[in-house]
A and B are shown apart, each in its own frame.
Chain A
Amino acid sequence: MKPPAFDYLRANSVDEVIDLLREHGPDAKLLAGGQSLVPMLNFRLLRPSVVIDINRVPDLDRISLTGHEASVADSTAGALHLGTLVRHHTLESSLEVRRCNPLLAAAAAEIGHLAIRNRGTIGGSLAHNDPVGELPLIAVLLDANLHLRNPAGERSVPASQFFVSLLETDIGDEELLTGATFPEVRSDTGWGFEELSRRTGDFAIVAAAATLELDGGIVRQARIAIAGVGDVAQRFEQAEELLQGGALTREQLAAVRDSIEQSCTPTSDVHASADYRRHAAGVLTCRALEAAWSRTETGAPS
């Protein structure tokens, strides 16, 4: 099998990527880890005339931390800045990531297989926006900020506006995703990530992630996001509100499950029926919340 004919161009700087994008526009495809793009080329689902390899652009694989922005009342939150070329295996194994955002590291570890994680990049995964991708899910959950460069300059887009629809994002034809900023998941915040797939390494059928931010044993803010029940990963704010202002209880979990089953609108496909996805979404969310609660060291839900 051969990909369709194209020209291979290697960019050595962000400016060069932008120049090449401006020159070739929609005929060009950026090549990062290639773990989604190359299968599509091999199947000839895409026929770009130019492939621009960004793997050698320096500095796009940086990981850095800025700490202690006084963003929430008297507590402090740091932020994790990830260059677009940070590979999934680096996300799962980097001590900085595991310390600052263990949820992101845990989710990255569930992507495909080691050989896929050795190549696949965070930027490629966010740009590809697979409906059950782990990284878009966590970006939506935590409302990460996505950073873009284009001929006119730079802009940042919150995840809530970045993931537009199935395999579609807000990235323009002449734009490069340069990186993402994820908020710190602090030690007062419990987190949970649950995914259902047929075998280790398969794409998820449904995945759910949750965080519980506590203040003196009481939930100050809950976040819930689910992938696999729509074209893009979604937050479930109505269910989140049910959890605010108390300790996690069995009754609350049941209410959250009802709320999610009622508000999600999955469709049936070869992997699972809509009913199965709806059921899984409720169950996985409750498991993620229980895991989040237990990570706050407050014990099991009462």
Chain B
Amino acid sequence: MTSKVALRVTVNGSKYEREVPSRQLLADFLREDLGLTGTQLGCEQGVCGSCTVMLDGDSVRSCLLLAAQVDGAEIVTVEGLAQEDGALHPIQRAFWEHHGLQCGFCTPGMMITALDLIAKLPLAEGSPELDQKIREGIAGNLCRCTGYQNIVAAVRAAAAKMSGQAEAEAGSTDSRESAP
């Protein structure tokens, strides 16, 4: 009987080595074993989105993964978004500026979802389907108190900021490369 499984995982840049029960959910491992209680648990059936974390660059439901499955993987939770000096991630700043949260329960899942949406969907500024795409993209994340208008505004602003940043970075690489 192998009811415990050895686990090595990187979470928000820190490496952990633990033994976990076979049946432990990733969400419970993050919250209870690592004390990272930013990741919330609502429905525990994949529907509410509040437990969403990044696994090797993809947003996933941490209530639908066993901790044992993420051996060797890199996880990013909401605690890993800000820089070490406390400077907010552009998504966090946009949620703040646009009043994209009220009680904050859905916010970690919303922000991780936004991170993946901005990376994977063409959310170019000015595109007529932009708001529709954002609304569809966050349809799997339930918010019961802020209302979605401000959340959509926050994601839109973050997408604009981040694509601007990406362009600026690409631009600076170009200029570096073309410098004599």
Q: Could you list which residues of chain A lie within 8 angstroms of chain B, going by C-beta atoms?
A: 1-10, 31, 34-35, 38-39, 41-43, 51, 53, 55, 89, 93, 112-116, 118-119, 199-201
Which chain B residues in 1-35 approach chain A with CB under 8 Å? 1-3, 5, 21-25, 28
- Determine which of B21, B63, B135 lies in contact with A42 in the assembled complex, contact meaning CB atoms within 8 Å: B63
CA distance A10 to B65 in the complex (A): 14
In this complex, the member of A6, A114, A116 whose beta carbon has the largest number of chain B beta carbons within 10 angstroms is A114
Question: Which B residues are CB-close (under 8 A) to A3?
Answer: 23, 25
Question: Which A residues are CB-close (under 8 A) to B149?
Answer: none
Question: Which A residues are CB-close (under 8 A) to B168?
Answer: none
Q: How large is the interface on B (under 10, 10 to 19, 20 to 34, 35 or more residues)?
A: 35 or more
Given A7-B3, A42-B44, residue A118 in contact with residue B59 (CB < 8 A): yes
Question: Which A residues are CB-close (under 8 A) to B116?
Answer: 114-115, 118
B59 touches A200 (CB 8 A): no
Confirm or deny: B113 has a beta carbon within 8 angstroms of a beta carbon on chain A.
yes
CA distance A53 to B25 in the complex (A): 14
A34 touches B65 (CB 8 A): yes
Output the least CB separation between B17 and chain A (Å).
Answer: 17
Q: Could you list which residues of chain B lie within 8 angstroms of chain A, going by C-beta atoms?
A: 1-3, 5, 21-25, 28, 44-46, 49, 52, 58-61, 63-66, 68-69, 113, 116-117, 120, 135-137, 139-141
Given A6-B22, A53-B69, residue A35 in contact with residue B3 (CB < 8 A): no
CA distance A54 to B53 in the complex (A): 22
Return 28 A-B CB contacts under 8 Å, by A number.
Answer: A1-B44, A2-B28, A5-B21, A6-B23, A8-B5, A8-B22, A8-B23, A10-B68, A34-B64, A38-B63, A38-B66, A39-B45, A42-B63, A43-B45, A53-B69, A55-B69, A93-B120, A114-B120, A115-B52, A115-B140, A119-B58, A119-B60, A119-B61, A199-B139, A200-B135, A200-B139, A201-B136, A201-B139
B3 touches A2 (CB 8 A): no
Q: Summarize A's interface: helix, strand, loop or mixed.
A: mixed
Output the least CB separation between B33 and chain A (Å).
Answer: 14
B3 touches A5 (CB 8 A): yes
Given A114-B120, A116-B61, residue A7 in contact with residue B49 (CB < 8 A): no
CA distance A10 to B22 in the complex (A): 11
Question: Which A residues are CB-close (under 8 A) to B120?
Answer: 89, 93, 114
CA distance A10 to B113 in the complex (A): 28
Question: Which A residues are CB-close (under 8 A) to B21?
Answer: 5
CA distance A9 to B71 in the complex (A): 13
Question: Which B residues are CB-close (under 8 A) to A199?
Answer: 139
- Determine which of A2, A4, A93, A115 lies in contact with B60 in the assembled complex, contact meaning CB atoms within 8 Å: A115
CA distance A119 to B54 in the complex (A): 12
Output the least CB separation between A91 and chain B (Å).
Answer: 14
Given A115-B52, A118-B58, A201-B140, residue A35 in contact with residue B64 (CB < 8 A): yes
Question: Which B residues are CB-close (under 8 A) to A42?
Answer: 25, 44-45, 63
A113 touches B140 (CB 8 A): yes
